[in-house]
Amino acid sequence: MLVTGGEGQLGRELAISSGPNIECVAVARGQLDIGNPQSVARMMAELKPQVVINAAAYTAVDKAESEAAQARRVNALGPGFLAAACREQGARMIHVSTDFVFDGESSRPYSPDSPPCPIGEYGRSKLAGEVAVHGELPGALTVRTAWLYSDRGANFVKTMLSLMAG
């Protein structure tokens, strides 16, 4: 199993929790630039994974407005490159996306078939990644998540606890 974004909060947790019967290779941005199709092809050819979990992402929601090209490179183009490489090698893919593909205005929980309506560049770039993944690899699984938290790294829960501690 290949996990992209291996130095990020989600990538680290996936690698740690993969279990002893799974050979998990978690790669960081310096090892795999998912926004570069040659880098993706090289890594896929080297590792030949059966499963790829894409946990790599440009996650600076507010900065995505002023760094739209970088957000799209990582969140939209990169997942498409990974999906194409998975298709070519017969690997399965799990792509991690976000609830930011929605506008947050619904009074009911969103379902997988709810129409997306992102309101910012971050959400638009993540939605474009979903579209690219399923265009290249229709059988891929997309998981949309909201807040991530763990005991390592910066996250919403740790920030709120720190603020409450004063």
* pLDDT tens string 10-44: 999 999 998 889 999 999 999 999 999 999 999 99
pLDDT confidence bin for 149, thresholds 50/70/90: confident
Which of 58, 110, 122, 149 is labelled catalytic? 122
Q: Is 122 a residue of the active site? A: yes
Under 8 Å CB-to-CB from 116, ≥6 apart: which residues?
A: 101, 102, 123, 127, 130
pTM of the model: 0.92
- Contact status, residue 32 vs residue 10, Cβ threshold 8 Å: no
